[in-house]
Amino acid sequence: MSHRAGSDNHSRREDYRDRRDYQREDRDPRERDGERGRGGSPRRSASPRRSRPRSPSRSPSAPAPPEDKAKPNFAPSGLLAAATNTVKNADGTSTLLKYNEPPEARKPLVGWRLYVFKADEQVDLLHIHRQSAYLIGRDRMVADIPLEHPSCSKQHAVVQYRLVRQKDELGASKGVIKPFVIDLESTNGTHVNGEAIPTSRYYELKASDVLKFGTSNREYVLLHDEVS
């Protein structure tokens, strides 16, 4: 009796082991892998994630992005700047002006005039208060005050009115519009009161000054309405 009971117990244990193995084989392989992973051995993923390098954090004071050189630059080039200083003549030719007015150029507030003398005789009277600058020279296409003498250059000099700062009798600074003359590197120079002035520099003029251009005998006396 005991031998049969032991044999039955042994048979039931073998039966149970076979059913357990059969159920384990029928389960999803992924569950089996998970079960092995829970057993303590490290489990590797089928597609392990690669660690990505961290992008550097942007600083609040990061430098501005470089200028896009493909964008158009509307600043005037050398050729364009020269073209804006060119005067078209009636015959189709063009003349390049040697002079540009400065930022402080202003129209005068008083009526300046040039009295033109040849020897002791007055031959002309020029009103030079209607614009801020007057070009003087032999080129009649561009000159505001034309010259006839062959010793004078085509673009000889400019009378330029400029806003300058000066102190009054109380020491306060104020703006005053004054006349100046500038020689445009002429061949034979510009003279004020018998003295040659430096070229390419503004020379301040005062009432009753006498101007001469080149070796011409004509004298240009500068006066204004307030001078009797």
Architecture of domain 98-224: Sandwich (2.60)
Asked whether the predicted pLDDT for residue 48 surpasses 50, the reply is no
The CA distance from 12 to 5, in Å, is 11
Verdict on whether the full-model pTM lies above 0.75: no
One-letter amino acid at 179 equals P
- Take residue 187 and report the two structure tokens written for it: 């061949």
Are residues 78 and 184 in contact, defined by beta-carbon separation less than 8 angstroms? no
- Strands 86-88 and 94-96, by their bridges, are antiparallel
Sheet holding 121-127, edge to edge: 121-127, 112-118, 219-224, 210-213, 190-192, 195-196
CA 96 to chain centre: 24
Query: What confidence tier does 2 reach under pLDDT thresholds 50, 70, 90?
Result: very low
Sheet holding 173-183, edge to edge: 145-146, 133-137, 157-167, 173-183, 202-204
- Strands 210-213 and 190-192, by their bridges, are antiparallel
- At 179-216, the pLDDT tens digits run 999 999 999 999 999 999 999 999 999 999 999 999 99
- Take residue 46 and report the two structure tokens written for it: 């089928």
The CA distance from 131 to 161, in Å, is 9
Helices (H), 27-90: 29-38, 78-84
DSSP 8-class letter at 191: E
- 193 contact partners, CB below 8 Å, separation of at least 6: 209, 210
Which range is least confidently modeled, 45-49, 84-88, 179-183? 45-49
Query: What confidence tier does 171 reach under pLDDT thresholds 50, 70, 90?
Result: confident
